[in-house]
Amino acid sequence: MSNLPNTTQPVGIIGGGILGLTLGYWLMRSGIPVQVFERDRTPGGLAGAMDFDGLQVDRFYHVILPTDHHVIELAREVGVGERLHFQNTRVGYFEQGRMYSLSSLVEFLRFEPLTLIERARLAFFVLYCQQVKDWSHLDDIPLEQWLVRLCGRSLYQKMWLPLLRSKFDDRPGKLPATYLWARTRRMSSTRDAAAQRESMGCLLGGYQVLADALTGAIRAGGGEVHTGVTIRGLEYAQGQVVGLRTDRGRVDCQKVVSTLLPSYLQPLLPEGVRLEEQKYLGIVCLMLKLNRSLSPYYTINITDRSIPFTTVVETTRVIGPENLEGHSLVYVPKYVLPDSPYFEKTDVEIETEFLHHLQRMFPAFEREHICASRVVRARTVEPVHELGAGRSVRPVVTPLPGLIQTSTAQIYPALVNCEAVIQLAASVYAQLRPGLQGARSAQVVPVI
């Protein structure tokens, strides 16, 4: 049996993604001993990088918006601010077999797929979302009802419904109005009002650069980040969690913080402790390294339902081909439910299907342009909240004494992204820090 925790023991953090590393960094800076445990060989989690035919690239495509102030501040604080890189970007729209550019006010005014009235209602909708600051009343309004009221049925049928079906694997379910309110506010923040252009950014080298810098800072400050170490279970004494059981042995902890999604934490808990049910989206994604650009667009909204994937993201439009050895990097993701038959398909089947449709969208695209391809999959990546979620989602949950549970499932109504993850880490830190003691008693105020 383990001893009761004492304050010289570390806070054990399960998960070395951006959430675990950011929290670990702030705790370390305020003098709390920390140990972060990451099962992969490198930290970074979903935001981490991989080797793709000799290029170090994001496993999943990631952008930073000019309004992601927490990301930008944290990157500067840990010394990688000079890697931030912003570009003007363009957005495409694929409808009934035709590609449109939807990147400026002029293009919006001339946008043929929508009637004049539909365009006016869409513009009103965006302005409305920007004006509404208090979302609490939206939490109980079904998304469809809200969109039809604000945009009209024809715009809903023509644009919103196909986009929602594409994002939610044909089953949008009982989404609340907050889903598109939050998304519309975030995306409209990328527009430079004066220039009417969209701007997006990245860290050159990907979010891996931030993950590595946080890891380095935690280690330099006396904390530990263990990679390639899997947490197998929790240790208990007198009814409370007092440590971690890893595949290398046992670690006594004054507190344990799990940053895992509930579906990954559940198997680590004792029988009889059931976490709340959570819905998720997964993803299958074809990655392409091309010898030329596919299109002028960073991303494409696809309302043509004969296309099986959700969007096409050419990250070179943000990173710049000069930072990819002259290549173009394209992600073709399909968001799917965790029980999707796409998880049973082989890589070759997915690639063949997606390339067929890519050629329909881009007639000039040829297979000879492909230098390398890869299919990546993850069954649970994005928590999905249904009507009324605002009443139950909290940044910190304590399923057992001594165990703090936090994860991207506790981000609401904001969309799940690294900006929201860093804000979540700040909120968890603020709740946790007063109850912890370490060598120094200084309390760090995280960048907010």
The 3-state DSSP class for residue 128 equals: helix
Please identify which residue in 10, 11, 12, 14 interacts with ligand FAD, judged by CB under 6 A. Answer: 14
Closer Cβ to ligand FAD, 47 or 147, answer by number: 47
Could you say whether residue 36 binds ligand FAD (CB under 6 A)?
Answer: no
Could you say whether residue 39 binds ligand FAD (CB under 6 A)?
Answer: yes
Cis? peptide before 413, omega within 30° of 0: yes
Closer Cβ to ligand FAD, 147 or 358, answer by number: 358
Least distance to ligand FAD, CB of residue 305, Å: 21
Could you say whether residue 18 binds ligand FAD (CB under 6 A)?
Answer: yes
C-alpha 394 chain-centroid distance: 18
Stretch that binds ligand FAD, among 17-25, 129-137, 189-197, 383-391 (CB under 6 A): 17-25
* β-bridge partners, 95: 98
Helix axes 69-77, 208-220, angle to 10 degrees: 50
CB-CB contact of 246 with 232 (8 Å):
yes
Q: Which of 123, 113, 215, 216 lies closest to 157, judged by CA?
A: 113
Could you say whether residue 152 binds ligand FAD (CB under 6 A)?
Answer: no
Stretch that binds ligand FAD, among 186-194, 257-265, 344-352, 360-368 (CB under 6 A): 257-265
Closer Cβ to ligand FAD, 143 or 283, answer by number: 283
Q: For 380-448, give the DSSP string.
A: EEEEE--TTGGGT--S-EEEETTEEE--GGG--SS-SSHHHHHHHHHHHHHHHGGG---S---------
Please identify which residue in 75, 389, 418, 426 interacts with ligand FAD, judged by CB under 6 A. Answer: 418
Helices (H), 320-362: 347-361
Closer Cβ to ligand FAD, 155 or 241, answer by number: 241
**CA distances in angstroms from 211 to 77, 81, 222, 418, listed in the order given:** 13, 13, 17, 11
The amino acid that residue 139 corresponds to is D
Closer Cβ to ligand FAD, 122 or 268, answer by number: 268
Least distance to ligand FAD, CB of residue 53, Å: 19
C-alpha 415 chain-centroid distance: 8
The binding track of 192-231 with respect to ligand FAD, each residue x by CB under 6 A or -, is --------------------------------------xx
Task: Write out the two tokens for 62.
Answer: 């990631």
Site for ligand FAD in 42-81 (CB under 6 A): 45-47, 60-63
Could you say whether residue 179 binds ligand FAD (CB under 6 A)?
Answer: no
The binding track of 331-360 with respect to ligand FAD, each residue x by CB under 6 A or -, is --x---------------------------
**CA distances in angstroms from 39 to 3, 178, 225, listed in the order given:** 26, 34, 11
Give me the residues that bind ligand FAD (CB under 6 A), please: 14-20, 37-40, 45-47, 60-63, 230-231, 259-260, 264, 283, 333, 381, 407-408, 416-419, 421
